[in-house]
Amino acid sequence: MLEEHGLLELVRKVPALLVRFLRMAWSADRRAVVVLFVAEIASGAGAAVLLTMTAKAMGPLVGTGTVASRVHEAGPYLIGAGCAAAFARGAHAFGTWAEDRLRPQLLTAADRALIHAALSVRLEVYNDPAFTQDREKAETGVVRSERLVTEVQVFLGSLIRLVAAGGVLAGLHPLMLGVLMLAVLPSGAGAVVRARIEYRTHLTVSAGRTVKQMMRGYAANRHFGDEMHGNGMIPYLKFWYDRITDTIDAKILAQTPKQLRTDLLSYAASGVCLAGAYGVLAWLTVSGRVSLAVSATVIVAVRQALASVRDLLAYTVGLLRHCLYLADWERFVDNGRSPEKVPRTDGKTVPPVVETVRVEKVSYWYPNKPAPALDEVSLTFQRGEVVAVVGENGSGKSTLVRLLLGLYTAEKGTVSWDGIDLAEANQGTLSDRTAVVPQDFACWPLSVRENVTLGQPRTWDDEAVWEALAQVGMVDVVRELPRGLDTLLARELWGGVTLSGGQWQRVACARALYRQPALLVLDEPTSEMDARGEHQIFTELKKVARDRITVVVTHRLDNTRIADRIVVMEHGRVTEQGPFDQLVTAGGLFQELYELSHDR
């Protein structure tokens, strides 16, 4: 991780980051990039001409003769200087126009890359605790990408103006470059020290900021409103949020005395060096080595150079800081493209119809867990079968179905579909054959139609959509919505509505049925449904079971009566299998759980 390395590591990365950033800008808006560069170069050239004209005007102005004749002689140069200044400002305005165009486009490009990366990785990558933290950091990189445009613009402009001032001074007298260096060096050193302090501060607060960001997300999410308000959690959450923000602030504030010391030292050194530079200049002038006119120009040029250096350094610090966040963003985005993190697309094609899914001696470990979530599990599933998977919390049911779906890859053993080992399957063709109603599903802020067809190629035929809705008993509810299938299921948006928990669950089931998959997995599909809804779903499952393998994970053991076979799991192992009538009297865990569920 970049954080383990130092500032030097970051500085080494900056050019590559800037090139990548430039490429993004180039593909977003070439014209704006060209205008930005041309405008800043033109603005720098204008500043150089302004200085040269000033130098030329100084000769007559500080020379001999009447005031009128001196002004007359200097007049054309003064007009030239005025025009150069106007030109430089005009060019800068175009630079700002380009910046205004690039900022939002780069923000969008960085944001899109992040979301695509987050959506591209395999589900297993999410299990790595670093993944969430990396994503939070990358989010900050997205926000900072916008500011980087301004920084690059000012950095470039200042650099060009500094080079222009240096060039003009060197042209006047080679020694003047030394005078300029003497005047600006301490500010440079001060800025580097400041950047180091800021970088270290960033490292100390980054973990706290990540947690804070997560909390912000929860606090603003209506989904958690019932839980927060109904449990009286608000005062503690406020207290907790205040505490973490105070801790972060305290760490940042603890750095301010160091920054003050750095500033005072660098300003004092700057003052001494500037006085030294002017002393050298005075000596050169008095000893006749440079003319009075040159010396007057040097003073103007040094002032301009100092302003440029101040901008340059301030924006270099900003640039470094933002590159730091961008490095986090870059790492996350590149991870989302690395072959070992994304699903396989080059493997064997999974056929549309599957007769047998075989699980052979499969074990699976989650990161940082000593015991396997699945331990040498062997099972076979046949087309047309409805299999219920039951067991106590944490026994490995959800892990098993993720392996069947190919969402996780077995670490030991194999899961195969008609002989195709899923570790070697093309994941795209596999996910085309599966459908799942997970325990936790999203309430997508899309129309009813899209909520049903999501994951399928777009269709103009609503008949199949209505059919899927009929299978879950949602036809009347949808007909009564203000815009039927077009109704937006997002109460937060104008014209949108929301559904009840059970209705949302029915929509999730309709989506799975609409897919007509080879493997249909339902993990607690009816936990929020009323008795009628539950009855309807299980009746429908039975009706459509002939064409596929259906796996239902459930804690409501009465529902397992519809299953052809029940698989009982304990501590990651399969301990019982068989039809309901057999298991309910077998004296094993199933019978015990069944009796407990009726012992009220």
Buried b or exposed e, range 34-72, using 16+ CB within 10 angstroms: ebbbebbbbbbbbbbbbbbbbbbbbbbbbeeeeeeebee
Structure tokens at 295: 């010396």
- Count of chain residues binding ligand ATP (CB under 6 A): 12
> In three state form, how does the secondary structure of 211-267 look?
HHHHHHHHHCCHHHHHHHHHCCCHHHHHHHHHHHHHHHHHHHHHCHHHHHHHHHHHH
Residue 597 found at the interface with ligand ATP (CB under 6 A): no
**In the complex, least distance from residue 387 CB atom to ligand ATP, rounded to whole angstroms:** 15
Nearer to ligand ATP, 126 or 267 (CB): 126
Question: First-to-last CA distance in the chain?
Answer: 54
State the Cα–Cα distance between residues 350 and 244, nearest whole angstrom. 50
Residue 141 is a binding residue for ligand ATP (CB under 6 A):
no
In the complex with ligand ATP, the residue whose CB is nearer, 330 or 375, is 375
Stretch that binds ligand ATP, among 224-232, 311-319, 378-386, 394-402 (CB under 6 A): 394-402
The answer to whether the CB of 530 falls within 8 A of the CB of 465 is no
Kindly provide the b/e burial profile for residues 447-486, where b requires at least 16 CB atoms within 10 angstroms of the residue's own CB.
bbbbbbbeeeeeeeeeeebbebbbbbbbeebbeebeeebe
Per CB under 6 A, does 394 bind ligand ATP? Answer: yes
Site for ligand ATP contains 369 (CB under 6 A): yes
Pairing of strands 519-523, 549-553: parallel
Per rule CB under 6 A, is residue 397 in the interface with ligand ATP?
A: yes
If one asks whether residue 396 binds ligand ATP (CB under 6 A), the answer comes out as yes
Distance in angstroms (rounded) separating the CA atoms of residues 590 and 392: 10
- To ligand ATP, the closest distance from the beta carbon of 502 in angstroms equals 19
> CA 142, CA 349: separation in Å to the nearest integer?
37
In the list 27, 96, 127, 349, the residue contacting ligand ATP (rule: CB under 6 A) is 127
Q: Which is nearer to ligand ATP, 64 or 393 (CB)?
A: 393
Q: How far is the CB of 373 from ligand ATP (least distance, A)?
A: 3
* Near ligand ATP by CB under 6 A: residue from 366, 455, 482, 530: 366
Shortest distance, CB of residue 521 to ligand ATP, whole angstroms? 12
Q: How many C-beta neighbours within 10 Å does residue 341 have?
A: 17
Angle at alpha carbon of residue 368, lines to 362 and 371, rounded to 5°: 45
The 3-state DSSP composition of the chain as helix, strand, coil percent (nearest 5) reads 65, 10, 25
Q: Round to whole Å and give the CA distance between 83 and 49.
A: 9
Q: Does 361 bind ligand ATP (CB under 6 A)?
A: no
Residue 447 DSSP symbol: B
**Residue 132 CB, nearest distance to ligand ATP (Å)?**
11
Determine the Cα–Cα distance for residues 92 and 77; give it in Å rounded to an integer. Answer: 22
Question: Minimum distance between the CB of residue 525 and ligand ATP, rounded to whole angstroms?
Answer: 13
Task: For residue 322, give the amino acid letter.
Answer: H
* C-alpha–C-alpha distance, residues 563 and 572, integer Å: 21
Tell me which of 150, 395, 526, 560 binds ligand ATP, using CB under 6 A: 395
User: Please, what is the minimum distance in Å from the beta carbon of residue 259 to ligand ATP?
Assistant: 42
Separation CA 522–CA 439 (nearest Å): 8
Task: Give exposure, 205-238, as e/b (b: 16+ Cβ within 10 Å).
Answer: bbeebbebeeeeeeeeeeeeeeeeeeeeeeeeee
Among 55, 301, 373, 518, binds ligand ATP (CB under 6 A): 373
- 188 contacts: CB under 8 Å, gap ≥ 6: 309, 313
> Taking CB under 6 A as the rule, which mask of x and - marks residues 308-347 in contact with ligand ATP?
----------------------------------------
Judged by beta carbon, residue 202 or residue 571, the one nearer ligand ATP is 571
**Between residues 112 and 369, which has the closer beta carbon with respect to ligand ATP?**
369
From the CB of 594, what's the least distance to ligand ATP, in Å?
16
- CB of 409 vs ligand ATP, minimal distance in Å: 14
Closest to 375 measured CA to CA, from 386, 383, 363, 385: 363
Minimum CB–partner distance for residue 571 and ligand ATP (Å):
9
Query: Considering the complex, what minimum distance in angstroms separates the CB of residue 395 from ligand ATP?
Result: 4
399 part of the interface to ligand ATP, by CB under 6 A: yes
Minimum CB distance to ligand ATP smaller for 131 or for 278: 131
Nearer to ligand ATP, 99 or 375 (CB): 375
Q: Report in angstroms how near the CB of residue 585 gets to ligand ATP at its nearest.
A: 24
The binder of ligand ATP chosen from 363, 398, 498, 591 (CB under 6 A): 398
Using CB under 6 A, pick the residue from 64, 340, 393, 463 that binds ligand ATP: 393
Site string for ligand ATP, 55-74 (x = CB under 6 A): --------------------
Region class of 418: left (phi > 0), else alpha (psi between -120 and 50), else beta: left
Of the candidates 590, 58, 493, which has an alpha carbon nearest to the alpha carbon of residue 295?
A: 58
* Residue ranges in 417-499 assigned as alpha helix (H): 427-432, 448-453, 463-471, 475-479
Shortest approach of ligand ATP to residue 398 CB, angstroms?
3
Choice between 231 and 393, CB closer to ligand ATP: 393
Give the nearer residue to ligand ATP in terms of CB position, either 236 or 366: 366
Among the candidate windows 70-78, 104-112, 393-401, 481-489, which touches ligand ATP by CB under 6 A? 393-401
Query: Is 291 in contact with 59 (CB distance < 8 Å)?
Result: yes
| d(C-alpha 88, C-alpha 48), whole Å | 9
Nearer to ligand ATP, 373 or 522 (CB): 373
* Stretch touching ligand ATP by CB under 6 A, among 183-191, 348-356, 391-399, 477-485: 391-399
Nearer to ligand ATP among residue 60 and residue 391 (C-beta): 391
Of 69-77, 142-150, 365-373, 483-491: span binding ligand ATP (CB under 6 A): 365-373
Task: By CB under 6 A, tell whether 391 contacts ligand ATP.
Answer: yes
- Binding-site ranges for ligand ATP (CB under 6 A): 127, 366, 369, 373, 391, 393-399
